[in-house]
Each structure stands twice: as C-alpha cells, then as structure tokens.
Amino acid sequence: MDEKVGPSEMIVHLGPQHPMMPGPFRLNAKLRGETVVDSEVEMGWIHKGIEKILESKTYLQGITIVDRICYLAALTNEEAYVGCVEKLAGIEVPERAQYIRVIMEELSRIQSHLLGMGEYASFVGFVSMFMYTIRDREDVMSLMDSVTGARITHSFLRFGGVKDDLPEGFKDDVKYVFGNLRKAINTYEELFSSDEIYRSRTVGIGVLTPEVAKDIGVSGPPLRATGVAFDIRRDEPYLAYPDLDFKVCTRKEGDVYARVQVRLDEMRESMYIIEQCLDQIPQGPLFPEGTPYGRRSPIMRVPAGEVFHRVEDPRGEMGFYMVSDGSDKPYRVKIRGPVYPTLQGLPPLIKGVRVADIVAIAGSMDTCTSEVDR
C-alpha cells in the first residue's frame, strides 16, 4: 500500500484486536471519505513457532502440537501431519481406521463451519444467529467427544490408524443429532435469504473472481464460491473418499452471500458423507497387522526422505512438507495452510467499498489468524 496520504485521505488501522477479526491481525485501510482506496494486511502478532517446535519433538509428540495450529481444524491438521509420516514409512492405514478418520474429519468440518458462520453473522448484526449455531455446534462436538475424549484438541490420529474405535450406539447418536441439524441449517438458510438488510449487505458485495482467487492461491469455500470446483477430497483423494459419493459444493457469484451459502451446502454434504461411512464401514483392525507403529509406540524412527501431503481443511488446502533424516524427530517441517492466501485476497476485495462493508467481507472469508501465525 502506498503510504502517501492525499489531502482528502486518511489511514485507519483496523486491529490488531477488532470485533470483526477472529484473531489478532491488522488491516490498514486508506480511506477517501467512507471509501477504501487501498489497503494492506499486516500479520505476525502471535508467533507460536509450531514448525520449529515440531522439529524438536518426537513424531508422536507432534500430533498434540499440530492440534494447536488452528483448533477448529485440529483433526485435519493431524491428518496432514500423520499422512506425511505414513508416506515416508510406507504405512497402509486399514479400511476401518480410514472410515473412522473420514467421519471425525467431516464432523470437524461441520463444527468449524457452524462457528465461523455464527461469528460472521454477528459481525453484520445477526447476533442471535451466533447463539443458534453455537447451540448446534455443541451437539456435534459431543459426538466428537464421545469418540476422541476431547472437544477441541483431540490428539486422536495415530500413525497407521486411530486411537480408539467408535463407541457403541454412535450411529444412533449421529442420526439423532443430524435430524436436528438438518432442520437448523434449513432455518439458517431461510433467515439469511429472507432478510432484506442481510441481502443488501451481502449480495454483490466483495466479489472475488476465479482469476484473482487462483492467482493469489485462495482455496476452500472462498474459491468454490467463485465457481471453481477444486476439492482435494475429490481431485487428490485420500483415505476412504474414493469409495464415497459426494459433490463439490460451488456457487458462481463469488460474493459474500455465495461464500456463506457454500458453507451451508458443505455442512449438508458432510452429513451425507458421514452417513455413508456409518452404513458401509467394514470390520477389521485399527492398525496394520504386524507393524511397529501404533498407539503404544512413543519413540519411532522414520526412514530418511522428504514428502509433501495435503488434505482438504475446512478452510481449504492444508499441506505439510516434511524432511526425515532417519531419526526419531522430523528434520524439517514446513506448513502450507489455507488462511494466509485467503487473507491476501482481502485488499483487492475491499478496494472501492465502503468502510461498513469491510466487516461483512472480512468475516465471510472465515479466517483463522492463529493458523497463519503458527
């Protein structure tokens, strides 16, 4: 951003703490009256140093660390990390464990979208919507808790499998929760679509084009809301996804309204995926037979090599690049998360809009600042 300020211009700093931002970052906006003429995103307020921490921990200890990259995507973070080790070590995950992983990661996607959508609604004045989504999110988190023993940071995946099997009665619990959740999502959609003030603040506002999204590297719901049907679960399938029938949810408008609608559609699709998994999950072991890897292997050495593994996070492409030197700790770890490119999409989106629209646009991107500042 050009820091030269004209006689009728001023620079306003939104953040690093601001109600519209779920995490500390600063948006520097140059204004002419109420219109944004230029802006820049300023990151780096947390500095958790997770990549270097991972290089000082054993492979198993790292599972607990990657949960903290973004607690809303803890299980997909684990999948990306554990998947790197499994590729390096040549570990094949048994079918039953694959299905359990898919179930848990799709539940994680649902609870992430519920919280993100509720937070976003409060940014544009729908404060009561946040209470509704949090209520329904608690039911989904209770399902996750019954399997992993935790509600947010799970430490559930293991190299070659999962920590525990599904509990007795889990399928019935899912059926009950999903029955209520489907009705709730329909209600959210009706509330959003029928409110004239909400539509005036979202339809045609903050339009992201497919060209700009691809140039910046945006992925996940913000990209799919532009009409680009890119989803790693389908395009580079992993776990049991090749055996499942699901569609990639897209919209063509690329505006605030479309980004929220994509997440509503994705929650429905995640429920459909989970129901398929529960219907066709096979019996069998949770770990490969006859391997040294499993829940009781705190110290393990991984063959030397390098690998990149990526998965579909609730916010887009989550990838881990890992280098092993044959010891019990990774030699190098580099994380490519989805949120940094998404935040870089803010300046072109808010150029030319009014200040009040910044809140709606930034909130609709559903960012997680702690993932950027890992």
Strands 332-336 and 305-313: unpaired
Residues 30 and 40: their CA atoms lie apart, in Å, by 9
What is the crossing angle of helices 170-194 and 127-148, to 10°? 160
Q: Is 330 helix (H, G, I), strand (E, B) or coil?
A: coil
Judge whether 73 and 338 are in contact, CB under 8 Å: no
Find out whether 84 is annotated in a ligand binding site.
Answer: no
Q: Over 80: is that where the pLDDT of 291 sits? A: no
**Overall average pLDDT of the 358-368 stretch:** 88
Find out whether 368 is annotated in a ligand binding site.
Answer: yes
User: In the prediction, which pLDDT does 276 show?
Assistant: 97
Strands 316-324 and 332-336: antiparallel
Q: Over 90: is that where the pLDDT of 163 sits? A: yes
User: How does DSSP classify residue 10?
Assistant: E
User: In the prediction, which pLDDT does 164 show?
Assistant: 93
For 195-319, where are the alpha helices, taking DSSP H only?
A: 196-202, 210-216, 221-224, 232-235, 256-280
Find out whether 335 is annotated in a ligand binding site.
Answer: yes
What tens digit of pLDDT does each residue of 218-264 get? Answer: 999 999 999 999 999 999 999 999 999 999 999 999 999 999 999 99
Which amino acid belongs to residue 161? G
What tens digit of pLDDT does each residue of 272-288 get? Answer: 999 999 999 999 999 98
